[in-house]
Amino acid sequence: MALWLGVQGQVLVQDSLRRVVHDEGMKMELRLDALSRLQFTFRFSNLDSAAYLADSLIRFATEQGSGKYLHDALTSKALIYKAKVQGDSAIYVVRKALTLVEETENLHQQAHDYCLLGTVYEDLGNLDSAIVYYKKCNELGELADSGTANARSLLNLGFVYRIRGEYGEAIQYLFRARSICQQYRLTAYYPSISLNIGDIHHHQGDKQAAIDEYRRGIAEASSLNNMIRKAQLLIRMADVQSEIGQIDSALMNLDTCLAIGQKVGMKSEVAGAEIALQKSI
């Protein structure tokens, strides 16, 4: 929500949510929901404010005995710690959230919590633990028939195995992820899957297969209007094209990436495109 409202719209929403939170005449469920939404609006702009509001929601939900909002607040706090690169604190909070959903036997939510735990360990560089938790997520996701949990866990497993250089394992997980996404129509994951498969083909020396996957990912990202992923894929494809002498195609893709990055303010992608352009010329 905070990503598309714009600054003025976001402020109006936050003011409206604050009024609901402080209105003692409102039903408690509505006040808890407003506080949950309010802390979410700050997660992408002010982590300290988001953390303060998440703590308030934790206290409020605990007082009211609301397991749902307590769990939401704990996972939100874990994401804030993760964004602040405070991995140990994030792990502690996710485990508290897991305890809540294990008591309710909510397999779908357990799966997503294990996936979150895996991403924290991945950020910490502990890939062995990340794999353990991604596999646990996948196991629970299958039991709960959760396409999203399955797709996320398989994609993350493919990524981690690719980072470890275990390409055979990685590509099996990625193709399974693609199959699940097609089954459940989870189109948002398509570009990331194509990017990872393309990277594996590139590392294995099959450059045409890499280009084909990157081209597929670019089309997928375009249809989703995912400009960040599209820019990343364009850089990847241009890199391979320059290696096989397709300099004009590489330069055209880098120019496109540069235009996208400048338009939507993606500084890292712009810098990457400029560096790649200099190497290709």
Q: Are residues 69 and 122 in the same domain?
A: no
Q: Are residues 177 and 211 in the same domain?
A: no
What is the average pLDDT across 30-41?
Answer: 89
Residue 109 has pLDDT above 50, yes or no: yes
| 8 domain residue, yes or no | no
What is the average pLDDT across 222-244?
Answer: 93
Q: Are residues 85 and 132 in the same domain?
A: no
Among 71, 95, 119, the domain boundary falls at: 95
Residue % of the chain over a pLDDT of 90 = 69
For residue 160, what are the CA distances in angstroms to 127, 131, 188, 267?
7, 7, 19, 26
Looking at residue 2, its pLDDT comes to 42
| 10 domain residue, yes or no | no
For the domain that residue 139 is a member of, what is the CATH number?
1.25.40.10
Looking at residue 231, its pLDDT comes to 92
Confidence class for position 22, pLDDT limits 50, 70, 90: confident
Looking at residue 259, its pLDDT comes to 86
| 280 domain residue, yes or no | yes
- How far is 6 from 17, CA to CA, in rounded Å? 16
Q: Are residues 120 and 63 in the same domain?
A: no
Q: For the chain, what is the mean pLDDT?
A: 90
Q: Are residues 117 and 169 in the same domain?
A: yes
| 219 domain residue, yes or no | yes
Residue 281 has pLDDT above 60, yes or no: no
Closest among 232, 214, 242 to 268, alpha carbons compared = 232
- Which pLDDT tens digit goes with each residue over 41-72? 888 789 999 999 999 999 999 999 999 899 99
| 214 domain residue, yes or no | yes
Among 58, 74, 95, the domain boundary falls at: 95
- How far is 272 from 263, CA to CA, in rounded Å? 15
| 174 domain residue, yes or no | yes
H/E segment holding residue 95: helix 87-104
What is the average pLDDT across 3-15?
Answer: 67
| 276 domain residue, yes or no | yes
Confidence class for position 8, pLDDT limits 50, 70, 90: low
What is the average pLDDT across 234-261?
Answer: 90
Q: Are residues 122 and 78 in the same domain?
A: no
Confidence class for position 119, pLDDT limits 50, 70, 90: very high
Q: Are residues 174 and 228 in the same domain?
A: no
| DSSP line for 196-248 | HHHHHHHHTT-HHHHHHHHHHHHHHHHHHT-HHHHHHHHHHHHHHHHHTT-HH
Using alpha carbons only, give the angle 221, 180, 225 rounded to the nearest 5 degrees: 15
Among 38, 62, 95, the domain boundary falls at: 95
Residue 144 has pLDDT above 80, yes or no: yes
- Which pLDDT tens digit goes with each residue over 183-217? 999 999 999 999 999 999 999 999 999 999 999 99
Q: Are residues 114 and 177 in the same domain?
A: yes
- How far is 154 from 200, CA to CA, in rounded Å? 15
Residue span of the structural domain in which 167 resides: 105-193
Confidence class for position 4, pLDDT limits 50, 70, 90: very low
Residue 273 has pLDDT above 80, yes or no: no
Residues 6+ apart with CB under 8 A from 45: 2, 10
**pTM, full prediction:** 0.87
Q: Are residues 168 and 221 in the same domain?
A: no
For the domain that residue 268 is a member of, what is the CATH number?
1.25.40
Q: Are residues 130 and 89 in the same domain?
A: no
Total domains in the fold of the chain? 3
| 16 domain residue, yes or no | no
Looking at residue 171, its pLDDT comes to 98
- Which pLDDT tens digit goes with each residue over 149-164? 999 999 999 999 999 9
What is the average pLDDT across 123-129?
Answer: 97
Residue 267 has pLDDT above 70, yes or no: no
Q: Are residues 152 and 174 in the same domain?
A: yes
Q: Are residues 63 and 86 in the same domain?
A: yes
Residue 3 has pLDDT above 60, yes or no: no
